[in-house]
Amino acid sequence: VLRSSVDRDLEGGAELLESPRAVNEEALRTPREALDRGKRLFALPPEEHNHRPIAMAWNSKALLATFGSAGQLRIWDTAGTRVAAVPVPGKAKGVSVVWLDWDSSGEELVLCVPGSGLWIWTEADGIEALLSAGASAEVSFAQFSRTQAGVLGLGTTKGDIFLYARGRTKGLEKQDGGRHSAVPIPGIRTADDQIVCGDWLRNGSLALASGCRLKVSEPITARRPVWKTFSKFRVHKMQSKIPAHKLVSQGPYSASPTIVKVSNTEPPFIAMNLGDKVMTVMDHAGLYREEGFFVPPYQGSIVYFDWLPGHILVIGLSNGYIIVVNVPLLLVSRESKAAPQAAADRAPTRNKQNAMVTTRIFDSYMSDLKVSPEGRLCVLGDSSVKALSISVDKRTQHTEVRIDVEFRLPFKADVGTFVRNMAWGPDGIIAVTSNVGHVFNSSPSDAAEGPAGGLQARMRRGSCRVAARAWCPAAVGGERLWYARGGWRCGSGACGWTAAE
């Protein structure tokens, strides 16, 4: 239930926390039985995209879209067969910034190349231009709704918001509300009103961030594609508390956000970075007190972050670390007056060290981190993909990180070459790209098989063993399933969930 609109400053505590050091600076070792498990599906050679970085996106119908410097939109199936090759009008070649995203139905694809154009592609109608080359130069964010098929949100360098709904709007429609405007803060930010990032909530609301504020809309539907602001947060007070002297050796620290991610839980929480070393967490209704923390320079820069079930935030860092944040416990440990009561009931301790845990996953570097719609976590780095499981003990709030699968890619990193990013596809497919145009598609885990699949056979080797990647659908906090006496049971022993053979 939406309450009245919120307008407030993000402030947090008296000072920002520092994320903890890793318990062990050596990278977490992969169990022998977890090495190179999985199935290679298909790979695209770098020649396919002129040895340049590409944008890619899987849809719910098992089609992969790629776009690169060749200036051609290409659609592939899971066998690696090219099912469509669409020449993109204009001079969309040699580009470095591309927005490529499918809608929730898997029917529509948006491609935006700022300065070249913005197009919608469907198999039935082909490619259709929504913005000209000149107008597209102002686009700084474009993404389809998670739940409303055909609804597209767009932000610009001038702080304006546009919405598109196929069959409902006449192209992109500029919104009267929600515009971002900026105020400069010396040494922290310029007067930048550009919308730089955003994310869709499960209820159809859209969260958009600029250098000075975060705004969340009321639910936007295909029948009523109109922006009405529900919450807005000004970030200057949080930015003013950033200890820049601890983060950069010289010059100002850039505190503009680049990523916003919204949890799928109730109540939903929003995570946003302020530059490459500072994080802040809040809820979209402004009911709970926000908190902020910074990453020490030796751990690297924030490459990506996402949410797991149970209000668990996972942050990937460029030097191979992840930070796991138990958000309810973080709020309780900082004595937030409005922390969710359910979270308070689950937290017998207020030890803030338990709220954040740092673990090194890779020896050299990490380039991406992604959580699937089903809640499976994979990280990318050192020419390999690792599937991780994270569990939180309900009694002690102790967090444990394990590597369930390590899938080594057929890619040899060299000076100037590296694996770049990844994306989840349907049925547990992971697509990985390199900075020179490789595309690797594999299924690094059999999580998609579920309790009735291949996991059962392996679990029969012992009387009771934890499932490698099976998660309880009822428990909150990422409880594992256990196989014993012919059935599956929740590891917490509290929720009572069971499943027979």
Q: Using one digit for the tens of pLDDT, what is the confidence trace for 182-218?
A: 666 555 555 568 899 999 999 999 999 998 889 999 9
Average pLDDT over residues 403-420: 88
Of 49-63, 258-272, 401-415, 435-449, minimum mean pLDDT range = 435-449
Instruction: Please count the other Cβ atoms lying within 10 Å of the Cβ belonging to residue 251.
Output: 8
Please calculate the CA angle 305-242-266 and round it to the nearest 5 degrees: 40
Average pLDDT over residues 339-365: 67
pLDDT band at 353 (very low <50, low <70, confident <90, very high): low
Average pLDDT over residues 441-446: 73
123 token code pair:
């198999």
Report the chain's mean pLDDT, rounded to a whole number.
81
| Model confidence at 499: pLDDT above 60 | no
pLDDT band at 469 (very low <50, low <70, confident <90, very high): very low
**Alpha-helical segments (H) within 321-479:** 327-333, 341-346, 352-355, 454-459
If you search the block for the tokens 């070459």, which residue do you land on?
Answer: 417
Cα(51)–Cα(446) distance, rounded to whole angstroms? 31
| Model confidence at 394: pLDDT above 60 | yes
Average pLDDT over residues 350-361: 79
| Model confidence at 492: pLDDT above 60 | no
Q: What is the SS3 string spanning 233-264?
A: EECHHHHHCCCHHHHCCCCCCCCCCCCEEECC
Strands (E), 286-372: 291-294, 302-308, 312-317, 321-326, 356-360, 368-371
Of 35-44, 220-229, 347-356, 474-483, minimum mean pLDDT range = 474-483
pLDDT band at 229 (very low <50, low <70, confident <90, very high): very high
Pair type for strands 291-294 and 17-18 = parallel
pLDDT band at 35 (very low <50, low <70, confident <90, very high): confident
**pLDDT, tens only, 233-249:** 888 888 888 999 999 88
Residue 35 CA, chain-centre distance (Å), reads: 25
Cα(359)–Cα(379) distance, rounded to whole angstroms? 13
Q: What is the pLDDT of residue 387?
A: 94
pLDDT band at 282 (very low <50, low <70, confident <90, very high): confident
Average pLDDT over residues 470-490: 46
**pLDDT, tens only, 51-108:** 889 999 999 999 999 998 888 899 999 999 999 999 888 766 655 678 999 999 999 9
Task: Report the share of the chain in percent with pLDDT over 90.
Answer: 50
Q: How far apart are the first and last CA of the chain?
A: 39
432 token code pair:
């990985």
**One-character DSSP codes across 126-181:** EEEEEE-HHHHTTEEEEEE-SSSTTEEEEEETTS-EEEEETTTSSS-EE-SS----
Any idea what DSSP says for residue 483? E
Q: What is the pLDDT of residue 297?
A: 94
